[in-house]
Structure 1
Amino acid sequence: MTLEISPGARDALQAWGDHMRALDGAAENTLTAYARDVTAFLAFQAGHRGGPMGLAEIGRLRTADMRAWMADQRLHGTGGRSVARHLSAVKSFARWLSEREGFDPTAILSTRAPKFRKPLPRPLAKDAAKDLIETVGMQHDTPWIAARDVAVVTVLYGCGLRISEGLGLTGGDAPLADVLRIKGKGGKERLVPVLPAARDAVERYIAACPFDLTDDGPLFRGARGGALNGRIVAGVMARARMQLGLPASATPHALRHSFATHLLEAGGDLRSIQELLGHASLSTTQAYTAVDTVHLMETYARAHPHGR
């Protein structure tokens, strides 16, 4: 922790992290990133204002101080998305601290994040998803590894899992039940139905796997028996998409986008898809789906009582 931050501010940072961990269920990676962002912000303000940043100094920050910090971020090449994330952490800390210390956080909270264009999700077409899964199985000469790779991508696509969630499955999860209990971001749990194709792919992998899949050990194993690394899955998909002429956006995460989009295309409602993906906000789910407006309105008209 930098010397430009007073012991009181350091203690406040620690207490804020404990608060988010206990009440908000924030993941450790999120807490670490937030603490790093706020620490860097306070260090900048110490240099900018010419003195250590204690609790009183944080309460006296002005709009000009915030503008100077954001300008410095951009000057050092920090992108708009990253600046927005840093600002979000600073605002969260300031909001919590102001309630505890009784100062007016308006100068901090009223600071606007830079505008940036959110990249549109690029799901695969249904045929492309099917071809990709089949081609993934052709990337390795060792039969059990080929079966493993097919099982992983089939589970990611068929269940809409993040790659960390798919690789987090254990031997105790096999054979896959009709419904999986998945622990996602922030430790939040959700129930995800398992398609027969995903269950069958995992069964073929288990039958071929040369390692003992213990209940508390990883389900998907690397070539030497350890936990499978996500980079291996990404590499296999990269080779498969090159063979099929698919764009670089055809990544493991694109399978999750594809899961959501294809469900919506089939008439699924956004609220149910939100629950399956484990999103806290419906707007996040909407960003995940790339169904054209005409199709979305047709789905809405079929589902809404006044559209019938």
Structure 2
Amino acid sequence: MNTLAIPPAQRDALARWLDHLRALDAAAAHTVTAYARDVTGFLAFLAVHHGESEGLSAIAKVDQSDLRAWMAHERERKISSRSLARELSAVKNFIAWVADRETIDATAVLSTRGPKFRRKLPRPLSVDGARDMIAQVGAQAREDWIAARDIAVLTLLYGCGLRISEALNLTGTAHPLPDTLRIHGKGGKERLVPTLPAAREALARYAQLCPYDLAATAPLFRGTRGGPLNPRLIALVMEKARMQLGLPATATPHAMRHSFATHLLSAGGDLRAIQELLGHASLSTTQAYTAVDAARLMEVYEKAHPRA
């Protein structure tokens, strides 16, 4: 697709929209990059599809048939339903922003439905699996302080529901771990997460053994040479541990966060409260865990139900 065909007015509108996302919506950098790519592709298609060079007036003329033609084009490129749904969301977001500023009625366009797809269910570990994973990463480390570090990281993921990026973005100010931790999540959104005694104890032991000065402004978790801990190292540590434990390939750092949410729900946790703890913008994202819980109940039922 020839991106040079995009009219300057549309390029300018796209740049201003992306600035808006960064400044006002505090969108994460990778989200802005993905949106820029998705909308650029759509505008390039539109320029070729219409066969003429128009400015923002082309946006005003976009209708459902244009969107369907674009989606068909994306399908020909072997774009998955999930990815196409994401692209359509970005395009509709951009059109809505332009429509609001240009007094365009985009109601019909914005009602265009995206492709249906089955959302992948989170793949949590069992309670025993999560505990075994934490124990194993500690047992396989060569140095005591590294064992304490890896245990502390995984305990934060499982005990507090943190993303790996959130845990590794913590600085020395998080030590000693308070009863409530302020987390800066996706899009710069803040949330308060209560901490468990196990997490506070794990972090205290790591801080005691760590050979580096955990200054307030420095990264809390360190690599072997004292620099910030690379998330890939935690993934590799878990990969080795899951092979030792016979756990599936889905036993990743993010699976510890999935386990946190699933086990809370299984214990009777409120879905809205879990949404707040995880920092999900939409409840629909959190609701995926209800499907996981239901699936687990059915597995138990199938195994325990007496058969004639």
TM-score after normalising by structure 2: 0.90
Residue of structure 2 equivalent to 1:283: 284
- 2:265–2:289: 8 Å Cα contact kept in structure 1? no
Q: For residue 137 of structure 1, give the secondary structure of its aligned residue in structure 2.
A: helix
Percent same amino acid at aligned positions?
64
The answer to whether the aligner puts 1:199 opposite 2:200 as a matched pair is: yes
- 1:265–1:295: 8 Å Cα contact kept in structure 2? no
Residue of structure 1 equivalent to 2:16: 15
Could you tell me which runs of 5 or more consecutive residues in structure 1 were left unpaired when the two chains were aligned: 297-308
Residue of structure 2 equivalent to 1:76: 77
Offset at residue 53 of structure 1 (A) = 4.8
Aligned equivalents of 2:82 and 2:239: distance in 1?
Answer: 26
Residue of structure 2 equivalent to 1:119: 120
- Counterpart of 1:153 in structure 2: which amino acid? L
Distance 1:62 1:292, change over 3 A: closer
Aligned equivalents of 1:115 and 1:267: distance in 2?
Answer: 31
Residue of structure 2 equivalent to 1:253: 254
Residue of structure 1 equivalent to 2:306: none
Aligned equivalents of 1:131 and 1:219: distance in 2?
Answer: 24
The answer to whether the aligner puts 1:151 opposite 2:178 as a matched pair is: no
How big is the alpha-carbon RMSD for the aligned residues of Structure 1 and Structure 2? 2.0
Offset at residue 294 of structure 1 (A) = 9.6
Offset at residue 12 of structure 1 (A) = 1.2
- 1:83–1:114: 8 Å Cα contact kept in structure 2? yes
Q: For residue 211 of structure 1, give the secondary structure of its aligned residue in structure 2.
A: coil
TM-score after normalising by structure 1: 0.90
Alignment of structure 1 residues 236-275 onto 2, 5 Å:
236-275=237-276
Aligned equivalents of 1:237 and 1:99: distance in 2?
Answer: 48
- Counterpart of 2:184 in structure 1: which amino acid? K
Alignment of structure 1 residues 97-246 onto 2, 5 Å:
97-106=98-107, 108-246=109-247
- Counterpart of 2:293 in structure 1: which amino acid? V
Aligned equivalents of 1:50 and 1:252: distance in 2?
Answer: 48
Could you tell me which runs of 5 or more consecutive residues in structure 2 were left unpaired when the two chains were aligned: 299-308
Range that drifts further, 285-294 or 72-81: 285-294
Q: For residue 12 of structure 2, give the secondary structure of its aligned residue in structure 1.
A: helix
Offset at residue 81 of structure 1 (A) = 0.8
Aligned equivalents of 2:197 and 2:187: distance in 1?
Answer: 29
Aligned equivalents of 2:166 and 2:214: distance in 1?
Answer: 17
Q: For residue 217 of structure 1, give the secondary structure of its aligned residue in structure 2.
A: coil
- 1:136–1:240: 8 Å Cα contact kept in structure 2? yes
- 1:4–1:51: 8 Å Cα contact kept in structure 2? no
Alignment of structure 1 residues 289-304 onto 2, 5 Å:
289=290, 290-292=292-294
Aligned equivalents of 1:278 and 1:102: distance in 2?
Answer: 34
Residue of structure 1 equivalent to 2:31: 30
Offset at residue 22 of structure 1 (A) = 3.7
Aligned equivalents of 1:234 and 1:52: distance in 2?
Answer: 48
The answer to whether the aligner puts 1:63 opposite 2:96 as a matched pair is: no
Deviation digits for residues 271-298 of structure 1, max 9, x if unmatched? 21111111122221111342227979xx
Deviation digits for residues 232-286 of structure 1, max 9, x if unmatched? 1111111111111111111111111111111122222112111111112222111
- Counterpart of 2:68 in structure 1: which amino acid? R
Offset at residue 173 of structure 1 (A) = 1.0
- 1:45–1:53: 8 Å Cα contact kept in structure 2? no
Q: How many aligned positions are there?
A: 296
Deviation digits for residues 15-67 of structure 1, max 9, x if unmatched? 22233334333223222221221111101111222233520112112333222
Offset at residue 90 of structure 1 (A) = 0.3
